[in-house]
Amino acid sequence: MRLLLAEYEQAATFLEERTWERRPEFLRLNPAGVLPVLQLEDGECFCGAIIAGEFLDETAGALMRDKRLMPENMVARGETRRITEWFLVKFEAEVNRYILQERVFKQLMRTEEGGGPPDSATIRAARANLANHMQYLESLASSRDWLAGTEITCADMAAAAALSVLDYLGEVKWETAPVAKEWYARVKSRPSFRPLLGDKVMGLPPSSHYIDLDF
């Protein structure tokens, strides 16, 4: 969502939400208790990255002409949506959810919330899944200019965002996917990506190459 907002030149205020705390105020915005939630000035909410992203495309994106991140062609739109969902749903469910839970969130949680030492078996399983996903990403990047076709789209934003948190943690073995690495470097070099490169997690410094555009 941060990448899309920046690409579509939309100002926003970002608030941290620790979903495991299940704050009643947050659950009133999104009863599912998951992020992201895009709340407009009038209070209307769009919950989930796919739904909020579609809203941004249909409003701000529709005015961006050749900078729009959703293709006009229906077939191309379908492929963009498919890959976007792959990384925001499948990749999240099989990789990011577990690695972030074990390596990041558990450090922030109290014991009664599920905090504690990371589970090495869970991390190993997620890393095995990541290797399979990287093979697929390498295949996409090798056969197309961008992940969904000839132009950069929401699919590239979704994939790059999903990978950025793993890259911060040093989890991505870029040497096994050189073409995907080149694709990621192109997305990483966009102005919209700069704020992400400045992010820091307390007590957990980024990998040595995370902020480097030529890594």
**204-214 pLDDT, tens per residue?**
999 999 999 88
* Rounded Cα distance, 197 and 200, in Å: 8
CATH number at residue 178: 1.20.1050.10
CATH number at residue 20: 3.40.30.10
Q: Where are the alpha helices (DSSP H) in 8-153?
A: 24-29, 49-59, 74-85, 91, 97-100, 106-108, 120-143
What tokens were used for 176? Answer: 């096994």
Same domain assignment for residues 182 and 108: yes
Same domain assignment for residues 52 and 84: no
39 DSSP assignment: E
Mean pLDDT of 174-199: 96
Same domain assignment for residues 102 and 155: yes
Task: Please answer whether residues 59 and 151 qualify as being in contact, where contact means their C-beta atoms are separated by less than 8 angstroms.
Answer: no
CA dihedral of 172, 193, 7, 10, whole degrees rounded to 10: 120
pLDDT at 109: 94
Within-domain flag for 57: yes
Tally the domains of the chain. 2
Average confidence score pLDDT of the chain: 96
Mean pLDDT of 173-178: 96
pLDDT digit string, tens, across residues 107-124? 999 999 999 999 999 999
pTM of the model: 0.94
**Sign of the dihedral through C-alpha 214, 61, 82, 93:** positive
Within-domain flag for 204: no
Same domain assignment for residues 89 and 106: yes
Same domain assignment for residues 97 and 138: yes
Per DSSP, what are the bridge partners of residue 39?
45
Domain of 118 in residue numbering reads as 74-197
Q: Find the helix or strand (DSSP H, E) in which 154 lies.
A: helix 154-168
Within-domain flag for 99: yes
